[in-house]
Structure 1
Amino acid sequence: MTLALPPADERTVDGRRTRCRISGGGSPVVLLHGIGRTLDDFTALHTALARDHLVLAVDLPGHGGSAPLDGPHTLPALAAAVARFLDVAGVTGPAHLVGNSLGGAVAMRLAADAPHRAASLALLNSAGFGREVTVALRLLAVRPLARLLLRPHPGIARRTERAIFHDPAHVTDERIAVALAVAGQPHAARVMRELVRDLGTWRGVRPQWRADLLDAVAALDLPTLLVWGERDLVLPAAHLVYARTRLPHAHSHLFRDTGHMPQIERTVEVEALLRELWA
């Protein structure tokens, strides 16, 4: 098993190495991954959308092949880093923001902090809509357990991937190799601990940042899509019910027999929902 990230592009943002993938042409689409993940979670959807859009996927700071920030890794800091990446990539106007899990919260924070950058929001099993989260992430708030759980280990990587997908066929050797390559980065554990402490505790996701963020997003009145997998073991599908109440004008869709990453398990259908939103 080769422990290396798949080939991608690279940009320098504020002196930091930033791993990214930029392709296609047309109105811009920005793809943002979840905590501890990489842009590779969007590979198939990226390829499909790049037929007629400029698609930009990026490893968030301290994730995958992107260097960490100098300061603490917080939700506002990640959103600001994405904005600076877009400037470097030449995208200064509105873009369609698509985020999965933590990436959904980053997309919302970016839209709230810089409304001129957001043409629409697509939130796929997004953080920000409930306290409940998988026990594995809650345990990362306990320092001794975090050190144990964040070490690069094939068994941990396989269990993590298995929890993400409803269909075990998606738990491939290639995905496990990427997960181990990510966990093996010298800063990876520190970045994860900082984000977990910023967003939650061992009890679950903190309520205040969620309430403030959703108030700001609701005030934007952006075209918004909410997508969830019914069998999500990371952020339960019950969060979609609350999301619909906070963003009542959003389009929404619940996929049956789908886990935490509908962009992988339901690529064709997610592409169709996105294109319908943008049309």
Structure 2
Amino acid sequence: MSSTESTEAAVVEPTPTVPVAGASADGEALRTVSLPGWSLTVRSRPPRAAGLAPALFVHGLGGSSQNWSALMGLLADEVDAAAVDLPGFGFSPPPDDGDYSVNGHARAVVALLESEGRGPVHLVGNSLGGTVATRIAALRPDLVRTLTLVSPALPELPPQRTAWPTALASVPGLPRLYARATRDWSVERRTQALLSLCYGDPSRISAQEFAADAEEYERRLALPYFWDAMVRSTRGLVNAYTLGGQHSLWRQAERVLAPTLLVYGGRDKLVSFRMARRAAKAFRDARLLSIPDGGHVSMMEHPHLVARAFRDLLAEDHQADAAPLNRS
């Protein structure tokens, strides 16, 4: 395996975790996991029964583990759920080596899974997190039991027009111009612009949710590495789009063995709905959930629909495990 595509992390000993100071959703806990090269914040919700299968949720570009709170709450009786803040996002500081590539993020997730002995997990990813999850599932099938991808950021060339501003963030100099042009924007205006980009119907967001989103956005804007993490992660994603051969993300999607659930929104402004058909053909064991009025973050906008499809995926997985026993 070429070093350019390897997501294998150095073997690490389980590391004690410590609580994280900061707000968390009701019933959730935040902790920091210290690993060689990374300090990762993990959000978890106590499962409603002992012995449930582990699941790990990976957020998208500019997101955080909090993006999964609604879905994790709905699935607490189904899986032992945890969501990670990727390096430089949420409450996780930047990676020690400054590597924000898709491979860099994937190595951090692999290191977390190996350090906690949680694999194989039901791996769930959104947007950039979906790209990271796809690469892990292709290269480390031993760590992935099922794969769920919500609007995965797989190569779409050219991207739809509404996604161009995000892609252009990878161009040197443009983020600085954008920051200068928007320096007088209030945090409320910034939050509204972000939610309008990510939701199919922003009116679904309550005033309380909007206020919480704005408060969190303001906290993260004050971080000295906020823009660096955003820009370099965007650049890493764009660079991954250009890889060919065995390193191609679509080629790696074809290598995924795990049963896969694909979730696409008809009003997604960042990942075109037309990519759903290509993805369904690429993943060898795929099932598709289409949400016509959904946007880019269906697990937040339509958590009940996503939870129901996820339950169906797990039911199929359980039936597959039981099949050899039934035949005997």
Same-fold call, TM cutoff 0.5: yes
- Return closer, same or farther for 1:225/1:235 CA change in 2, 3 Å cut-off: same
Aligned counterpart for 1:159 among listed residues 174, 190, 193: 193
Aligned to 1:272: 308
Distance (Å, rounded) in 2 between the aligned partners of 1:31 and 1:78: 13
Distance (Å, rounded) in 2 between the aligned partners of 1:126 and 1:102: 7
1:220-235 correspondence runs (5 A): 220-235=256-271
The Cα of 1:274 is off from its aligned counterpart by 0.5
The Cα of 1:15 is off from its aligned counterpart by 6.1
Structure with max Cα Rg: 2
The Cα of 1:209 is off from its aligned counterpart by 8.3
- Return closer, same or farther for 1:86/1:149 CA change in 2, 3 Å cut-off: farther
What letter corresponds to residue 144 of structure 2 in structure 1? Answer: A
Q: How many residues align?
A: 273
Distance (Å, rounded) in 1 between the aligned partners of 2:70 and 2:60: 16
Distance (Å, rounded) in 2 between the aligned partners of 1:5 and 1:74: 27
Aligned to 2:91: 65
Aligned counterpart for 1:253 among listed residues 289, 294, 305: 289
Distance (Å, rounded) in 1 between the aligned partners of 2:65 and 2:169: 22
SS of 1:99 mapped into structure 2: strand
The Cα of 1:32 is off from its aligned counterpart by 0.6
Aligned to 2:56: 30
Kept in 2, the 8 Å contact 1:228–1:254? The answer is yes
Aligned to 1:20: 42
Distance (Å, rounded) in 1 between the aligned partners of 2:55 and 2:301: 20
Aligned counterpart for 2:280 among listed residues 224, 227, 244: 244
TM-score normalised by structure 2 residue count? 0.76
SS of 1:252 mapped into structure 2: strand
Aligned counterpart for 2:244 among listed residues 183, 204, 208: 208
SS of 1:119 mapped into structure 2: strand
1:1-279 correspondence runs (5 A): 6-7=23-24, 8-14=30-36, 16-23=38-45, 24=47, 25=50, 26-71=52-97, 72-91=99-118, 93-131=119-157, 132=159, 134-149=163-178, 154=187, 155-168=189-202, 169-170=204-205, 172-200=210-238, 205-206=241-242, 208=244, 212-247=248-283, 249-279=285-315
**Deviation by residue 1:115-153 (Cα, 9 ceiling, x = unmatched):** 100001111011114231512212212333212446795
- Return closer, same or farther for 1:12/1:96 CA change in 2, 3 Å cut-off: same
The Cα of 1:220 is off from its aligned counterpart by 3.1
Distance (Å, rounded) in 1 between the aligned partners of 2:237 and 2:231: 10
Kept in 2, the 8 Å contact 1:226–1:253? The answer is yes
The Cα of 1:244 is off from its aligned counterpart by 1.9
- Return closer, same or farther for 1:237/1:207 CA change in 2, 3 Å cut-off: farther
Kept in 1, the 8 Å contact 2:120–2:145? The answer is yes
After superposing on structure 2, the runs of 4+ consecutive aligned residues of structure 1 that deviate more than 6 Å are none
Q: Calculate percent identity across the aligned residue pairs.
A: 28
TM-score normalised by structure 1 residue count? 0.89
* RCO higher in structure (CA 8 A, sep ≥6): 1
Kept in 2, the 8 Å contact 1:129–1:242? The answer is no
**Deviation by residue 1:207-233 (Cα, 9 ceiling, x = unmatched):** 638972232232232201111110001
Return 5+ residue gaps in structure 2 as ranges: 1-20, 25-29, 316-328
**Deviation by residue 1:144-195 (Cα, 9 ceiling, x = unmatched):** 3212446795223320111111222327121122223223221121122222
| Aligned alpha-carbon RMSD (Å) | 2.4
